[in-house]
Structure 1
Amino acid sequence: MQDTYLASATDPNLMLVLKVLPAIVVILIASAICGRLAILIKQPRVLGEMVAGVLLGPTLFGALFPEAQRAIFTADVKPILYVLSTIGLTVFMFLVGAGLDHGPKEGKSRAGRNGAVLAISGIVPSLVLGAAAGLLLFDKLSRPDVGKFEFAMFVGGALSITAFPMLARILYERKLQNSRLGRLTLVGASIDDAMAWCFLAVLSAMHANAGLGSALVTIGLSAVFVVLMLTVVSRLLRPLGEKVERTGRMGFDQLYIVIGVILLAGFFTDFIGIYSVFGGFIAGLAMPRNAAFRKALQDKMMDVTCVLLLPIFFAFSGLNTQLNGLAGWAMILPFLVILIAGFVGKYFGCALAMRSIGFSWRESYAVGGLMNARGLMILIFINIGLAQQMITQELFSMLVLVAVITTALAVPLYRWAIPTKHEQALVHGEFVPDKQKEPALV
């Protein structure tokens, strides 16, 4: 008996399990506490989970209790957390795509055009203003081996991101995901982020001297993937939806197929250089649109994904975040320049775009605020830039704070534009009164 115990105690697989499980428990406790605190101050739970991830890293936990932090989040635990976090985010974005109501067929082309308008308006102003800020701050913040154009484009690209997963969580928490405003915002944000990752692929290729050809191959393969998923794979999956509609339940056989499609889609998009989150989202869009099928997916997969897997994603990103780059007043002005460039470009660009396609000023300002939520997608973007030595630790830290501040402002700006008395109109698909009938917003 003692020999068996000693053998198991020295088993490397068992030892790894004994390291990973406490780390996950710590993550869940921190996420639950911070998520609840976020709700108490009328912020989305997901913001609290994001902050929890940052606090578990070297910013707070590692600074106050470095030995405990290293003992819990050891070097061999982090790869496991990375795999779990990637699976969690991919599955969540699949559920977002699968639950997205495409609306009536006659309105799809118009919705697509409007989503493209919103995406372009969210990207171009932020990209231009961010690039201008990058050029202005090049001498102060850039690495010596990075060119001025590359540096400016990286700053602009980072500021042009909208946190698609976080935006989706906010809309789901407010039951707005299938409102006309919610659907359009999700489509615009998905295009926004897909273009941002393609943009990062181009920058990475330029930085590695791999040439634009490598980046163009990635973009071409992404387009082929989307077409195949939304045509061939979508048709092949229709009998699956019909069976669930007929029987009223989703069995293990159907769930195996669904999960297999999610993981393969995520694998392919990761393999070609576009983050797996978009593979999951496109897989969701390819799923059958039957109401019973969509409900079964949400019932079986959403709660576990949000409670267990997504907090691991936030924590893993937080473990790579250090807010020690803003030491000294010399960095305050550059930080404010970057923050203002990112906020103004996204907020007013999206608001004016929404107004131009027929939404009221209230709805337009609300979308401008929501699209400013950059969340941890920008953290992924800048972590890649830091790992590839495209940016300095100081700029990285500034962009982390930009992510936290703009995300924290998203819901207050939304609630300022659309008070509670108007929100139910959005949920039920009704038109929110313009500022001509309400107190002026500006």
Structure 2
Amino acid sequence: MPSSELFLIALATVLALPWLIWRLGRTDAWAPLVVVQILTGIALGPGLFGAAFPEIHRTVLNEEVIAMLGGVASWGVILFVWIAGTELDLSQAWRERRDSTVTAGLAMLGPLVLGGVVGMGLLWHAPGWMGPSASSWQFVAAIGMACSVTALPILILFMERLEILRKSLGQRVLRYASLDDLAIWGLLALILVDLERLGKQAAFLGLFFLATVILRRALPRLNPQDRWFLSLVWLALCALAADWAGLHYMVGAFLAGAVLEADWLDQQRLDRLREMLLLVMMPVFFLYTGLRTEWQLGGASVFAAAAALLLAGVGGKLLGLRLAGRILDWPPGQARLIGWLLQTKALIMIIFANILLDRAVISAETFTALLLMAAASTMLTIPMAQRAMKHFQDQSPEPSKLQSQR
């Protein structure tokens, strides 16, 4: 059978199977579609479906088909990360800087520390958890970072479903998540710093700064259609330059979006593009991600590591928010609600895990454990946030109009 037909078989499977499980199983209350897609991608990987049906797996998902899937997945995730960058709203965070810095800082610090402890435990347990190109501090920092991530685009979707996105509480949660996103991407860039490529990385940052100044002056003067074309060219060039410098193309994609104003591209069009990417492109990314999972250290060890990571991520976030609530004198129950809302990891954590695996900071077994942790954390968000909302309702007046979600 030609590779083109095998590619279409794989594409039909990854689009249809998660949707059927989600729709027929009515899993939305505890496993939203994005979580089902992640778990299906893992199940179709070599460790599960490949182990049960090795001949079918090798035939359908041969090297050429995997390369085709990888191309689609890479462009889809580049666009998705770029949109995540445009959703940062640093101006609002500056206006509410005490509340923002205390809350975002503690929300990130709690899981970062506990995750780092888990990372040290994994190193002590077996050297196979760490990638061949990493030093111990890079691995420990990467695990802590993974436990701290909040997926801003998925958080927006979840808060829309909970009908709090346009309330003052929803806007605050977006602000906290935006600051954490920026800090986490900065930490990722630090982890990926390569002394042998330090000159390239410094050159990239310098040229990026100069190009940003020129772009921000020129882009608002163009008509909307030309802004989109120029922005996409800017995205591709930033991703290319970051990868050339050794920082990974997704870091460049995020930076390319972070320096743009969402209003220049029309926030509604960006929202529609994000929704279409989730529908059309990201299932392919989940399948491609699932093909990279490994269980060589043993299924029990991988699940135990995932459970420890989940405990560090969830517990650290809730403890950090509880401390923030005491410092800022929040009403009872508010810290718990915000803490559960910030548990959404899903796409962004999986993107980070792919970067860390590409740069050999983590092993394939650690990658698998991180995927399981991301899926479980995201599955907990909606039911636990709904339970927390029963004990607390936001009493602040609703804004007349949703602020920009950059």
Q: TM-score when scaled to structure 1?
A: 0.72
- 1: distance between equivalents of 2:227 and 2:303? 54
Alignment match of 2:20 (pick from 33, 36, 51) = 33
2:215 paired residue number: 233
Give the C-alpha shift of residue 55 in structure 1.
Answer: 2.0
Pair 1:141 & 2:126 matched: yes
Pair 1:294 & 2:267 matched: yes
Q: 1:390 to 1:262 in 2, by over 3 A?
A: closer
Instruction: Give the alignment of 1:378-417 within 5 angstroms.
Output: 378-386=349-357, 388-417=359-388
- 2: distance between equivalents of 1:283 and 1:157? 21
Decide whether the 8 Å contact of 1:141 with 1:392 is kept in 2. no
Decide whether the 8 Å contact of 2:93 with 2:100 is kept in 1. no
- 1:268-324 CA distance string (max 9 Å, x none): 44444155266357527624627x93334445x344322111211222111112356
Give the C-alpha shift of residue 333 in structure 1.
Answer: 6.1
Q: 1:35 to 1:391 in 2, by over 3 A?
A: same
- 1:79-115 CA distance string (max 9 Å, x none): 3322322322232344455567x59x7x552245544
Q: SS in structure 2 opposite 1:162?
A: coil
- 1: distance between equivalents of 2:293 and 2:125? 21
2:287 paired residue number: 315
1:158 paired residue number: 146
Instruction: Give the alignment of 1:329-408 within 5 angstroms.
Output: 336-353=307-324, 356-357=327-328, 359-386=330-357, 388-408=359-379
Give the C-alpha shift of residue 366 in structure 1.
Answer: 2.2
How many residue pairs were aligned? 395
Alignment match of 1:279 (pick from 253, 265, 271) = 253
Of 63-72 and 196-205, the range deviating more from structure 2:
196-205
In the alignment, residue 257 of structure 1 is paired with which amino acid? Answer: L
Give the C-alpha shift of residue 64 in structure 1.
Answer: 2.9
Pair 1:54 & 2:42 matched: yes
Give the C-alpha shift of residue 224 in structure 1.
Answer: 7.3
In the alignment, residue 253 of structure 2 is paired with which amino acid? Answer: G
- 1: distance between equivalents of 2:385 and 2:325? 14
- 1:340-391 CA distance string (max 9 Å, x none): 2232112221343356446544442222113222224434444454555544
- 1: distance between equivalents of 2:338 and 2:105? 14
In the alignment, residue 32 of structure 2 is paired with which amino acid? Answer: P
What percentage of aligned pairs have identical amino acids?
24
Decide whether the 8 Å contact of 2:332 with 2:392 is kept in 1. no
- 1: distance between equivalents of 2:142 and 2:148? 10
Q: 1:161 to 1:408 in 2, by over 3 A?
A: same
Structure of higher RCO (CA pairs closer than 8 Å, 6+ residues apart): 2
Q: 1:268 to 1:41 in 2, by over 3 A?
A: same
Structure 2, unpaired ranges of 5+: 401-406
Structure 1, unpaired ranges of 5+: 1-8, 10-14, 245-250, 431-442
Q: 1:81 to 1:171 in 2, by over 3 A?
A: farther
Instruction: Give the alignment of 1:9-24 within 5 angstroms.
Output: 15-24=2-11
1:264 paired residue number: 237
- 1: distance between equivalents of 2:170 and 2:259? 16
Q: TM-score when scaled to structure 2?
A: 0.78
- 1:24-55 CA distance string (max 9 Å, x none): 22211123224434654344322222222222
- 2: distance between equivalents of 1:186 and 1:277? 21
- 2: distance between equivalents of 1:175 and 1:116? 25
